[in-house]
Amino acid sequence: MTTAQATETGAGTRPLLELKGVSKSFGAVRALTDVDFEVYAGEVVALVGDNGAGKSTLIKAISGIQPGDAYQARFEGEQVHLDSPQDGTRLGIATVYQDLALADNLDVVENLYLGREEVGFGAGKNLRLLDEVKMEKHTRELLDELKVRTLRSVRTDVGALSGGQRQSVAIARSLLGQPKLVMLDEPTAALGVAQTAEVIALVKRLRDRGLGVVVISHNLVDVFEMADRIVVLYLGRRTATFDKATSTREQVVAAITGASENGAGKSSARGGEAR
């Protein structure tokens, strides 16, 4: 992508995150082989591929949960290590996995602040108490910023929410640490039409806030609705990169199934040649 194109999309010319040569094996199974990957601030990158292509393994390598056996990484131009979840969190990388990890018996505020509760002091400053007012106020402000309008109350138990609302809560929770990169694993899976539209709109708002966003999805209709670029993994290798604006679903499907050897004809200049 040219500098002018990058400016139009709100993204910079230097990747927010750039990985080179990521490889990962589990015993005799090679999950990733020499994968390059990049995401820019202010863009949504969809990571697609068939089951077993290596999508989740790459996401876990980026988050530091399952570090690559070999890799080079740069974040905001600086060489970094992604060898632990703490490394990812410190850099500003947040991940929302498909299971969402929400506590159904707790309300929205309690889920957002679970493990990072705000505390204040009681009488005589000798007693520390949860600052419920501050947490509730911040929760409302954050949901308002994200334009999550469907929640009747932030004190509603998460178990009573719809799938789209639960996804919104999980994404909002990931933003408490003010991340620069958010990764979403199948955010629209098993959602109805209205709920899917709600989540897609939320993903676009993350991009509009200047965040880098990586989305794993099997639903190409949703991918073409929310992504700027599409990166295809096939048998643990990056085989194609598509610019959404100049590509078709048929081309992406061909790359996913291996029917197309590469996506060179539609590769985004930002990502370089498809590998």
Tokens describing residue 211 = 């965040």
pLDDT of residue 2: 35
pLDDT of residue 110: 93
CATH of 3-92+179-266, one of 3.40.640.10, 3.40.50.300, 3.40.50.150, 1.10.287.70: 3.40.50.300
Cα separation of 18 and 25, whole Å? 21
pLDDT of residue 266: 44
Q: What is the pLDDT along the chain (275 residues), one digit of tens a residue?
A: 333 344 344 455 899 999 999 999 999 999 999 999 999 999 999 999 999 999 999 999 999 999 999 999 999 999 999 999 999 999 999 999 988 889 999 999 999 998 776 666 555 555 456 788 889 999 999 998 888 888 889 999 999 999 999 999 999 999 988 999 999 999 999 888 999 999 999 999 999 999 999 999 999 999 999 999 999 999 999 999 999 999 999 999 999 998 875 444 344 434 433 33
Listed residue (206, 195, 197) closest to 163, CA to CA: 195
Model-level pTM? 0.84
Do residues 40 and 12 lie in contact, with contact meaning Cβ atoms separated by under 8 Å? yes
- By CB neighbour count within 10 A (0-12 exposed, 13-18 middle, 19+ buried), where does 275 fall? middle
194: phi then psi, degrees, rounded to nearest 5: -65, -40
- By CB neighbour count within 10 A (0-12 exposed, 13-18 middle, 19+ buried), where does 133 fall? exposed
Cα separation of 231 and 70, whole Å? 20
Do residues 129 and 122 lie in contact, with contact meaning Cβ atoms separated by under 8 Å? yes
Q: Where are the domains of the chain?
A: 3-92+179-266, 107-161+172-177
pLDDT of residue 99: 87
